[in-house]
Structure formats: C-alpha cells, structure tokens
Amino acid sequence: MTDSGLPTSEHLEHLDTDTIADLIENLLPAPEAHRAREHVKACPDCQQTFDALVQLSEDLAEEGRNDIPMPADVAEHLDAVIVSESVLRSSTVGVHSLVQIREEPRRHLPKLLGAAAAVVVIAAIGVGVVFATKDDAPGGAAGINPTNVPTGVPTLTTKDVGPQAQRWLESSSNPLLHGSAAEIACARTFASSRPNPQLRLVQPAKVNGQRATVIGLQGESARDVQLFVVTGCNESGGVADPFYDTTVTLRNR
Amino acid sequence: MTSDVSRIGTAEPIAQPVQHAGPVSYDQMDDHELLRLHVAGNPDTFGFLVRRHRDRMWAVAIRTLGEPEEAADALQEAFISAFRRADSFRGDAKVTTWLHRIVVNACLDRIRRRQVRATDPLPEDEDRAAELAGPAEEDPAEVRERRLDVLNALKQINEDQRSALVLVDMEGYSIEEAAAILDCAPGTVKSRCARGRAKLLPLLRHWQTTRGGSDDSGVPEKTAAEAVGTE
C-alpha cells in the first residue's frame, strides 16, 4: 500500500497513480481522501490521470463487450470433446466396459446401478467383456430410460454418416449400442445375416430426413467398420432395409 | 444474447425433434430449449450451445488466463462440467449467465492451482499473438490491434488484479458479485481493481491518446469532484 504516499503539501507534489486510483474507488481514509481530492482539483496533471483512470474503466468495459473468435484448432478440439462426452453419456445407460467402470467409478456407478436395477446381463462380445444393462427397464426417469429419449436421434445426411460414426467409434473401444431393445434386436438380426455379424454400432438417426438406424459391423481388419444405414428397425417387428453403406477405418485402434 | 426468452415453462414434448418430419433446426431454438433437450438426453444440442457461445467464453478465458493453452484447457473443463451439471441449471436464469459463471470459476481454479504450484511467469508466446487476435478476415485491423493491446497489457499485471479487473470492468460484475466469485471481501476487490487500473494505465495510455475523442484533450468531462461525489 502507498497510503502514506500522500505528499505533505498536496499542491506541490503530484499524487501517484495508485493513490488516485484508490481515490476513485473510495478506498482512502477520509482525511487523505479530502486532501487528495483538493489536490486533484488544483493540479491539471493529476486531474488528467484521474480522468484517464475513469476513462480506462470505460474503455475496458467497451472492449469487454467484444467477443474474441476462438482459434480454429481450439474450437475443433472442443467440438470433439463434447461429442465424446455425449457418446460417453449415452453409453452409460447402454454398454460399458469394465475398464471404464473401474477407472471412473464415481461417474458411472450411480447411473449404472439405477439403470441396472431391473436386469443386468453380462455378455461377452469379442474379446471385451461388457456390461449391458437391459434397456427396457420399467419406470426409468426421462433421460435414463433408454426407451424414451435414450441417446437422441442425431440428424445426418448420408454424407455425414461415415465421419460421424467414425468419431463415435473412435471415442470408445466398446460396441456402442443405442436405441430401444427392439431396435437393437432388429440390428442384431440384420447383422446375423451378414458374413461379418459382429455388431460395433447401433445408432438411431434421422438420415436424409427419414428415421433410420446406423448399424456398424466389424470389418475385415480390426480397424475397419462397415456401416449400413437401414430403415425399418424403429418399427415394431420391422426388418432392416439398408439404403446406404460405407466403410470407415478407425485411427486409434 | 439479449433476446433470450425464458421458455422453460412452456414445455413442448421432449421428443418433438425426434418425431417431426424434416431436419430439426437447432439454430432456431433458444438456449433454454437447447439445454432442456440436452438434459432430456439429446446428444447434439449441447454442442450447438457451445458453438453459439464459444467466442464469448473464449474472450473471458483468454483475458483471465492470458495463455491460450490454459484458456483452452479451462474452457474444456468448464464445458464438460456444464454438460454434466446441466440438470442443476435453474430455468429462471439466462443460460449465458450460468455458463459464464462456470467458465469464470474454471479459470479461477486454474489460477489458484498455478499459484500453489509456483509463480512461473507467463511465457511470452509471440507466435500465437496474431492468431489470438482472431482471423484477419473477421475483424478490422484496429479491432484486432486493440484486442491484442488489452490482452498483452492484462498479462503484465498480477493475476489477482487481473481477475478482479476482468470481472468488474470487462465483464460487468458488481463488486459484491465479484467478491463472491473470488471468495474475498468487497474491499479487496475494489483495491485490486484500483491497483490493476493504475498498472494498466501506462500500458494502455496510447489507446486513450489515439482515440480521437470529441474534445482536444481527449479527457472526459467528468471531474474529480463529480466522480467522487460528496463525502
């Protein structure tokens, strides 16, 4: 503090900037404030500093109202983080690896236990052991019960399907099975009719404006996933009818 | 986002965007709607919310932290936290106010952790300066220059003064709100602001002299007596 920085004769020596700034914020004790104010009134230099400090606050406020464009690389990374967080959330009530549960028990266990109150099926898919909560558990709250609004239905075009599915798949080393039990069952039936029946992805989506299901099957190489966009799986007793397919190669596996 | 209208009460069916034919235009939804759909399980709407407000939040983070890497990390933490805590959002507030507060807290957390670690000075990062000012095609040169001047000047004052100044002068929080956020007494906030301004003044003086104000001295009409008021 430079509270004692007031000159003995306020008309001869200038106030320092700290003292003037304190004066503006009413931080000086009354006698000092009075002397400082008298000085500022009489001293053009200090009056100018005073005015400049007041102006500075206004300038900062004006600048503060302006946004600053986020750099493209930061924005891109942030997008990816939000997407994977989204995938993680939807898979919390769907399929989860034991590794994830072990690593982040605080985050997953409460929801898992809640959703799994009905039936917990332990299934071995490929080499990974996964927990699958039966997704037609009754009485789940909205957002928890996957049959209501489980993971949402992203709107895509066929052009987006590959890149989008690739991002989902790259964010998890486990199968991502979303949608109602009936929809997943329909996807399984479709998969079983294929030469490569191992399911990697089931995701309800609106593709080119129509309700569809994106189904991912393990490709020939471990990093390849063959994607099909099918209609019919969201109707009860429906049969998958593919209208688009593509193959993506995952980068992180 | 001053046109925000609280529509949290006029509940439309959550699954509406799912069941409607035709693509959903999230762009046309207000913040409350996007957040509500996110809480209900929609996987896309939070991303929209982030994209809508990221430049605002980036401004807060980069001004408070000074370092782009730190700011990016703080924002990531903040948005993940907001993502997970969205159900605790109270519908009577503005979504931006809520987000803003989470971002500010994430930034302050980083500052506190950094202060505990050591007082390593912020590295000068000239290479990123131009990038920090934003894409050249987006803003006029003087806007970008001014932005950089402020960012550089802010980096040169201490972190306590900087966070107080950013909150009070730049983000418009009241002294009391800032004191609550910073977890200190209102008098401390005032003092940090005053000393921060005193330090910034010589760093930004050219700003004021080149403003080309209406009067020749460039000083406002406000006098000491008017501003300080009566005793």
How far CA A134 is from CA of A93, A123, A142, B33, B88, in Å, comes to 9, 11, 16, 30, 27
User: Which chain B residue is nearest to residue A46, measuring alpha carbons?
Assistant: B224
How many Cα atoms occupy the beta-carbon half-sphere of A167 within 13 Å?
A: 15
Mutate to test the interface with B, among A83, A149, A159, A183 (most CBs of B within 10 A): A149
User: d(Cα A132, Cα A116) in Å, to the nearest integer?
Assistant: 9
Instruction: Provide the shortest C-alpha distance from residue B116 to chain A (in Å).
Output: 24
Query: Quick one: tokens of A253?
Result: 């596996």
Residue B46: phi and psi, rounded to 5, are -65, -40
pLDDT in tens, B161-193: 999 999 999 999 999 999 999 999 999 999 999
- Please indicate if any CB of chain B lies within 8 Å of the CB of A123: no
Q: Find the CB nearest A64 among B80, B170, B224.
A: B170
- Please indicate if any CB of chain A lies within 8 Å of the CB of B129: no
pLDDT of residue B127: 55
- Please indicate if any CB of chain B lies within 8 Å of the CB of A26: yes
pLDDT of residue A188: 86
Mutate to test the interface with A, among B39, B52, B58, B73 (most CBs of A within 10 A): B58
Question: Average pLDDT of B10-16?
Answer: 42
Number of H-type helices and E-type strands within chain A: 8, 9
Nearest of A174, A180, A188 to residue A228 by alpha carbon? A188
Residue A2: phi and psi, rounded to 5, are -120, 40
pLDDT of residue B117: 67
- Please indicate if any CB of chain B lies within 8 Å of the CB of A60: yes
CB neighbours (10 Å) of residue B102? 20
CATH 1.10.10.60 fits B24-123, yes or no: no
Interface predicted TM-score (ipTM): 0.77
pLDDT of residue A105: 43
Contact B103, B57 (CB under 8 A): yes
> Percent of chain B having pLDDT more than 70?
71
pLDDT of residue B129: 61
| Model confidence band, residue B130 (pLDDT cutoffs 50, 70, 90) | low
| Model confidence band, residue B101 (pLDDT cutoffs 50, 70, 90) | very high
Mutate to test the interface with B, among A27, A82, A157 (most CBs of B within 10 A): A82
- Please indicate if any CB of chain B lies within 8 Å of the CB of A159: no
pLDDT beyond 70 at B105: yes
pLDDT of residue B209: 60
Instruction: Provide the shortest C-alpha distance from residue A78 to chain B (in Å).
Output: 6
Residue A228 pairs in a beta bridge with A215, A245
Q: Do A149 and B42 touch (CB under 8 A)?
A: yes
Q: Is the dihedral of CA A115, A119, A124, A125 positive or negative?
A: negative
Average pLDDT, chain B: 79
Contacts of B201 in chain A (CB under 8 A): 17, 49, 52-53, 56
Nearest of B164, B96, B71 to residue A73 by alpha carbon? B71
Domain locations along chain A: 14-64, 72-249
pLDDT of residue B131: 66
Could you read off the pLDDT tens digit of each residue along chain A, which spans 253 residues? 444 444 444 446 899 999 999 999 999 999 999 999 999 999 999 999 999 999 999 999 999 999 999 999 999 999 999 998 888 888 764 433 333 444 444 444 444 443 433 333 333 333 333 333 333 333 333 333 332 233 578 888 888 889 888 888 887 777 787 877 778 888 888 888 888 888 889 888 989 888 999 999 988 888 889 999 999 988 877 889 999 999 998 886 4
User: d(Cα B18, Cα B231) in Å, to the nearest integer?
Assistant: 63
Higher pLDDT, B216 or B116: B116
Question: Average pLDDT of B135-142?
Answer: 77
Nearest of B155, B214, B82, B107 to residue A55 by alpha carbon? B214
For residue A228, give the H/E element and its range.
strand A224-231
The set of long-range contacts for B110-117, using a CB threshold of 8 Å and a minimum separation of 24, is: B110/B65, B110/B70, B110/B73, B110/B74, B111/B64, B111/B65, B111/B159, B111/B163, B114/B70, B114/B159, B115/B159
pLDDT beyond 50 at B72: yes
Domain locations along chain B: 24-123
Residue A155: phi and psi, rounded to 5, are -95, 125
Contact B151, B132 (CB under 8 A): yes
Question: Average pLDDT of B109-131?
Answer: 68
Question: Average pLDDT of B124-152?
Answer: 76
> Percent of chain B having pLDDT more than 90?
52
